[in-house]
Amino acid sequence: YKNITMGKSNQSSVTEFVLLGLSGYPELEAIYFVLVLCMYLVILLGNGVIIIVSVYDSHLHTPMYFFLSNLSFLDICYTSSSIPLFLSSFLTSKKTISFPGCGVQMFLSFAMGATECVLLSMMAFDRYVAICNPLRYPIIMSKASYVPMAAGSWIAGGINSVLQTSLAMRLPFCGDNVINHFTCEILAVLKLACADISINIISMVVANMIFLVVPVLFIFVSYVFILSTILRIPSSEGRRKAFSTCSAHLTVVIIFYGTILFMYAKPKAKDSSGIDKEQVTDKIISLFYGVVTPMLNPLIYSLRNKDVKAAVKNVLCQKRCLEGM
């Protein structure tokens, strides 16, 4: 792989990268191709349904479902930036991505990840106001408030992504061009740079503080107030109803941040055989984070949600009525 794009001189610049993926484990590729393809179709269908019913059903024109439709659109964009290429790599011996293509994939991955972190904190604030201050909810969470909140999430994620991607892609890559990952994951790409990456590391640490730590703290504080309010409700039925309105969001938050925490906080192997197993484990965890989480989001929000189920039925009924005419 090393000389695939290097030219005759060691100083030649890389024009494309090789995505190693599961190349060393051909027995797993067929299994993962079928699994990932099925999950990707579920992602497109599930999140697509959430977006459609949120737009067409007037009962779902609320802040919570506006944020949810944004989250669904984000999940479709995030997975579509990498999964089609990931699937095509199983069908061909050519497992390369162009230098600009790698930059685009990195930008979309960063933008969607940062946006989702902020968006989940906005959704936590929405649940906080709905439960802790229900009488003022229509005023605080008016359309003039929640639309800029969602737009701000996208803008913040986009700005962060432009910064991180531009810092990474300006580096010289004059050595190995093999990325030991499914996608152009930034840490895997930075390992290939033949220059000082301290600025990149510092900027990523700062970005992680802003887009991971701050939203987590915000969500945690919001749920402390939410739980304290729920526990003060006298009737058990009232407590159950109040908790059910935020249980889906809390589940998504736990899965999203739990996967990130497990990915980066687990101990590192020291021996070479352990390192190989660890790299495969890291790739599988990354796959879970990139595919399973977006697949679960619409299922979590719809399976126990009577409003979404009713909206889906209404949209289907309207479609049948139009076809009957």
Task: Give the DSSP letter of residue 267.
Answer: P
- Per-chain mean pLDDT for the chain: 82
List the 96-98 sheet strands across, edge first. Answer: 96-98, 16-19, 178-179
pLDDT at 245: 83
**Does 91 score more than 50 pLDDT?**
yes
Q: Sorting pLDDT into bands at 50, 70 and 90, what band is 206?
A: very high
pLDDT at 320: 62
Which tens digit of pLDDT belongs to each residue from 99-145? 888 899 899 988 998 999 999 999 999 999 999 999 999 999 999 99
pTM: 0.84
Which tens digit of pLDDT belongs to each residue from 265-309? 555 544 444 455 556 666 677 777 778 888 888 888 876 566 676
Q: Which of 128-132, 173-177, 200-204, 223-227 has the lowest mean pLDDT?
A: 173-177
Contacts of 129 (CB under 8 A, 6+ apart): 136, 137, 140, 141
Q: Sorting pLDDT into bands at 50, 70 and 90, what band is 67?
A: very high
Q: Which two tokens stand for residue 214?
A: 């701050």
